[in-house]
Amino acid sequence: MQRIEFLNYPIGEQLSDLQWGFRIDGTDLRVYAADATRDLWRLEHEDEDLAEEERFLLSQHGGLTLSEVGDSARHFLGDPAPEFVDPSTGTTPVLGCTCGLWGCWPLLTIITPTPETVTWSAFQQPYRKEWGELVMGPYVFARPAYEAALAKPVSLATDPLRTLGEVTP
């Protein structure tokens, strides 16, 4: 089983507006998304500067704001508010777009809770249906540890990828 950390950190310099982020086994979910989409982007954008491509890949997603998610326990246990549900796929957004509108470029997943586990699987980008299911996950978490992490998210002063120098401001 994997280990998840739920994170809350500011959006850029806007200290009053926080967003959700995640680390799975110590790695930011956006790093997994970058790895899963790298070759797909290269098919669309040949001859790009590799350093610029890496910056783009790591910054293609932002978190969902705390205010838009609302009831985080429901959302991250696979029962999001109606505006987040994609009834055709049963997916829930876990990451949004860096522009601030979650629906502009979301990362969707199926969240399946059982009494013992919570699983994130079938990741997809709805605006690139030809990509199909992304090669990431499934991630299976022990439900008690998952719920404990969700109840007490790690509060960070800045985006963890910026702290690591992986994304330039």
Q: Compute CA distances 157 → 9, 13, 18, 132, 136, whole Å.
A: 6, 10, 10, 35, 28
Our measurement of the distance from residue 134's CA atom to the centroid of its chain's CA atoms, rounded to an integer in Å, reads 13
| Cα gap 7→126, rounded to integer Å | 24
37, 102 Cβ separation under 8 angstroms: no
pTM over 0.75: yes
Output the tens digit of pLDDT for each of the chain's 169 residues: 999 999 999 887 655 679 999 999 999 999 999 999 999 988 887 766 788 888 889 989 988 999 889 899 999 999 999 889 888 889 999 999 888 788 889 999 999 999 999 999 999 999 999 999 999 999 999 999 999 999 999 999 888 887 544 444 3
